[in-house]
A and B are shown apart, each in its own frame.
Chain A
Amino acid sequence: MIAAIRPSAWDFPLFLHVLGAMVLFGSVSATAGISIAAWRRPAVVALRRSAFWSVLAVSVPAWVLMRGGAQWIYSKEGYGGNHDPTWLGIGFFVADIGLIVLLVTLGAAFWWQRSGNAVAARAVAGLSCLYIALLVLAWLAMSGKWG
């Protein structure tokens, strides 16, 4: 039901895009949960390592899959950047701003892993929650075809 009417040539890029977005949402949620659980115990080694590796080994590759799939299907659909629908603009905005949020989260997770600092753990928690909110906005806009 994800997209009812479209040429079959769009299926694979759409699959990559959706799969990447879903794995990205899951891994960022795991990072958020880990860093919130570390609120009162930021020095726990397993939590520090888990947050860092979750972002580096899962979220970043998932972002590449999501963004690559998006660009591929965008080129197949023949949009040119002028008069693109609102939902598409929201999707690209969240994807591109999201990379900055993700990289800052990765930096904070690296700092937390190295130092065990509570401020770093809380920065990871805040940034990953912010990113979850952005991802929810993007999937609602794109699946509901806003505008």
Chain B
Amino acid sequence: MFHVTGAFLLLGGGAAAAVLNVRAWLAERPSEIALLLRLIERIAVPAIGLGSALTLVLGLWLVHHVGYSYGTFWVWAAIVLWVLGNALGGRGGRHQAKARHEAERLAAEGDASSEQLRRLVRDPAGNALSWVSGLAILLVLVLMIWKPGQ
């Protein structure tokens, strides 16, 4: 039950971050972009952090408790994807923090947008890190349900 709660927090937090990220992309004023990116840090990031911890710790315990082998494909592949998803998400988050700092600076200086802010918010490489991270976590869900190699 708490392992599933962790999965809801992890994937739900990722979905919330995706919604807010897309809305920040579409927003015009730096103050609005800063507000939406701040919401990612206040809502999505804590949910993802707690969900990541719960899924890994309780998942490893469940593998032991139920009697699965850590060498089974779906178990070790899920752990690899979990690590990859968190690493990419962390790097994507640093990129978003940079965009938020720039948006906050511009908001304090008259709230006029700039080309640099637009580039930061819409940077394909920075956003790709977060989206690929979400895809990795989605693949973990696929492994949890289909359990290939069991």
Q: Which residues of A contact B (CB under 8 A)?
A: 1-4, 8, 11, 14-15, 18-19, 21-23, 25-27, 29-30, 33-34, 37, 44-47, 49-50, 53-54, 58, 62, 139-140, 143-144
- Chain A residues with CB under 8 Å of B28's CB are 46
Q: Which residues of B contact A (CB under 8 A)?
A: 1, 3-5, 7-8, 11-20, 23, 26-29, 32-33, 35-36, 39, 42-44, 47, 59, 62, 66, 138, 141-142, 144-146
State in angstroms the CA–CA spacing of A49 and B141 once bound together.
Answer: 31
Contacts between the two chains (Cβ within 8 Å), count: 112
Q: A29-B43, A30-B43 are in contact. Are A139 and B4 (CB under 8 A)?
A: yes
Interface contacts beyond A8-B146, A34-B39, A47-B35: sample of 19 additional A-B pairs, CB < 8 Å, sorted by A? A1-B59, A15-B142, A22-B141, A23-B11, A23-B12, A27-B15, A29-B47, A30-B20, A33-B16, A33-B20, A34-B20, A34-B36, A46-B29, A46-B32, A46-B35, A49-B26, A54-B23, A139-B8, A143-B3
CB distance A143 to B142 under 8 Å?
no
- Chain B residues with CB under 8 Å of A11's CB are 145-146
CB distance from A60 to the nearest CB of B (A): 13
- Chain B residues with CB under 8 Å of A8's CB are 146
* Among A2, A30, A44, A139, contact of B35 (Cβ-Cβ < 8 Å): A44
CB distance A1 to B23 under 8 Å?
no
Most chain B C-beta atoms within 10 Å of own C-beta, residue among A25, A50, A54: A50
State in angstroms the CA–CA spacing of A8 and B16 once bound together.
Answer: 30
Most chain B C-beta atoms within 10 Å of own C-beta, residue among A8, A29, A30, A37: A30
CB distance B141 to A15 under 8 Å?
yes
CB distance from A41 to the nearest CB of B (A): 9
- Chain A residues with CB under 8 Å of B3's CB are 1, 143
| Closest residue of B by beta carbon distance from A34 | B39
CB distance B39 to A30 under 8 Å?
yes
State in angstroms the CA–CA spacing of A34 and B38 once bound together.
Answer: 10
* Among B7, B19, B42, contact of A54 (Cβ-Cβ < 8 Å): B19
State in angstroms the CA–CA spacing of A104 and B142 once bound together.
Answer: 33
- Chain A residues with CB under 8 Å of B42's CB are 33
